[in-house]
Amino acid sequence: MLLVKNSRLSIVIALLLVMAIAACKKGWKDHNDSTDPNLGLNLITAIKADPEAAQFVTLLTKTGYDKVLASSKPFTVWVPNNNAIASLPANVLADTNLLKSFVGNHIANGSITSGVTGTQRIPMLNGKYANLNNLQLDSSSIVTSNKYCSNGLYNLMDKFVPVKDNCWQWLLNSTGFTSSKNFFLSLNYTYFDSASATQTGVDPNTGQPVYKPGTGLSTRNRFLDNVMNVSDESAEYTFIILNDASFAAENTKLTPWFKTTSVDTTNNLAGSWLVKDLAVQGSYSAAQLPDTLVSQYGVKVPIDKTKILSSIKTSNGWVHTMSQVNFTLANKFPPIIIEGENPTGFAAERTAQLLFRNRLNPNTGQNFKDILIQNYSFASYWVRYLAKNMNSMRYNAFWVAVNDVQTTPLWSQRLGVDSVTTKGNFPYITVANKNYNEVSLGTFTVPRYKDLNLFLIGANSSSSSGGGVSVSVDYIKLVPAF
């Protein structure tokens, strides 16, 4: 009402209000606005404008990566400066594929901040990985870091990051390690993958798909599949390659324990047993190598640094070529432990009497599981276990069999190897009350490398009460005797 009556005053107030709002607006814009002009530019425009990056820009344009960096997805580029590019080998410049891979080795998807302590393994656009730690990308130093653009950020480096072979590629491309290389290649096999095969029809009789011959096939390698995938770029490995003489020497050491009916099979088994411990996870340079590596199978690998022929940094770790890795047989063939709670068969179904127990071993302070069967009413009842891949050697057998249920009567049981009837070297042994120690059972020899059935056999009498006829075992341990 007042405003309507006094039109002059109302105009003044209205003006003041407008001014106040306008002033506010400007202030906040200044407050929120960034001062970095790069943020308005995309990566390729910003890099092109950077005189230090001129040489790399030429390569970007040549390989077509300039269009990638103009897209709206975020990227991180580690740009080698002009000095660095000047030392690029001519063969890389000449080969389009090599050059593309080289440029891709400096670009990663996503915005990744450099200068953060702690190693990150960054996947690059060429499929390789590089380790970024603080202001260090592999062996190159970042000179100017984290220049932000509208679609990511770039850094300037004093050196380029060369594209390296990975451990497996290095082996395949190597010369002079024929025995090793041939052995590893002998583990190749052809794999059929229906997803990548071309289907041409359906078999009218079986209803199964029919594929075009020769499609869907790929080569795989048993070492990479089953032991250690040293061709994997995303992690780091240390891979030991033996020269011909030492490969032969170590193989000869192992062959007696892999007796089969065929020399080839024996050599193959011995070779596999040899190489399974030659790759470990983690990147160890020659200087970082300890005097003993422990493989994933718990085998100690003695490293005599004087026997290292060469050490090669690869894209996923280190390859060391060596003239000797002198395995100790006792380390190479650790004791075999068969757990009592993992049987493969029984003489007869006795579910009602079968107990899988949890117990505490007071000697070791460790919990264990075992098997106990009592009052099963079956003469010479047996429980079967499978010991896989037993070497052709002599074994000393032990067990831990716990009777913590009764002091009297005590029961007796024996071990059977390969058969439930032949007694062999293993007599019945009384299971003492509360004995948590390993009990020596005797020795047996395996004539040929094979899978072996072991039997835990109860007393040759039948009883359904009193517990005098029982069997129990925590584990059976087979220690190789050389």
Partner 1 sequence: MKSISIKKKFFVGAMVLVGLGMGISSCKKVLDKQPETFLTTGQVYRNIFDADAAIIGVYGKFMGLAKQYLVLNELRADLMQVTDNADAFMREINQHTVTANNPYADPTPFYAVINSCNDVLKNLKIMLADNKIKQAEYDQRYSDIGALRSWIYLQLGIHWGDQVRYVTSPLETLASAKDVANYPVVSFDQLLDSLVNFTSTLPHTRPYPMGATINTGLVTNVDGSNTRRFFIDKFALLGDLNLWKGNYNKAATYYRSIMEPVLNGYDVDNANGLYTIGGDQYYQQSRQAFASVADNRDLCVGYIRFKESDQGSLIDNNTQGWRSMFARGQDNLWMQQWLWVLPFNSNFAPENPFVNMFSNSGGSYLLKPSQEAMDKWNGQRQTNGFPFDARGNFTWRTLNGQPVIVKYLYNYLDASSFIPSNPLQKPGQWFLNRVSNVHLHFAEAANRDGQRKLAAALLNQGISTTFDPTPGVTGRDVTNIMNTLSEPYPYNFDARNGETPRYRGDWHRNAGIRGCARVIPAAIVGDSTLSIESNLLNEGALELAYEGHRWSDLVRISIRRNDPAILANAVFNKLSKDGNPGAAAARTKLLDRKNWYLPFK
* Strand positions, DSSP E, 152-231: 152-157, 188-192, 199-202, 209-211, 217-221
Residue 290, number of CB atoms within 10 A of its CB: 10
**Closer CB to partner 1, 240 or 469, in the complex:** 469
Contact flag: residue 372 with partner 1 (CB under 8 A): yes
369 binds partner 1 (CB under 8 A): yes
CB distance 429 to 413 below 8 Å: yes
The answer to whether 404 contacts partner 1 (rule: CB under 8 A) is: yes
Beta strands, E only, 52-106? 75-80
In the complex, minimum distance from the CB of residue 360 to partner 1, in angstroms, rounded to a whole number: 4
**Residue 375 near residue 353 (C-beta atoms within 8 A):** yes
Q: How far is the CB of 467 from partner 1 (least distance, A)?
A: 12
- DSSP percent split of the chain into helix, strand, coil, nearest 5: 30, 35, 35
In terms of Cα–Cα distance, which of 180, 144, 141 is closest to 159? 141
Of 103-111, 180-188, 323-331, 366-374: span binding partner 1 (CB under 8 A): 366-374
When asked if residue 358 is in the footprint of partner 1 (CB under 8 A), the reply is yes
Nearer to partner 1, 312 or 354 (CB): 354
Give the contacts of 453 (CB within 8 A, at least 6 positions apart).
344, 384, 385, 386, 387, 417, 418, 419
**367 contributes a contact to partner 1 by CB under 8 A:** yes
Nearer Cβ to partner 1, position 306 or 367? 367
**Binding flag, residue 339, partner 1 (CB under 8 A):** no
Identified binder of partner 1 from the candidate list 349, 352, 421, 465, rule CB under 8 A: 352
Query: Rounded to the nearest whole angstrom, what is the least distance from the CB of residue 263 to partner 1 in the complex?
Result: 46
User: By CB under 8 A, which span of 8-16, 255-263, 307-315, 367-375 interacts with partner 1?
Assistant: 367-375
Q: Binding residue for partner 1 (CB under 8 A) from 121, 159, 253, 359?
A: 359
Please state, in angstroms and rounded to a whole number, the distance separating the CA atoms of residues 98 and 62.
Answer: 12
Member of 360, 379, 432, 481 binding partner 1 (CB under 8 A): 360
Phi, psi at 137, each rounded to 5°: -110, 110
Least Cβ distance, residue 362 to partner 1 (angstroms): 10
Report, in Å, the least distance between residue 405 CB and partner 1.
8
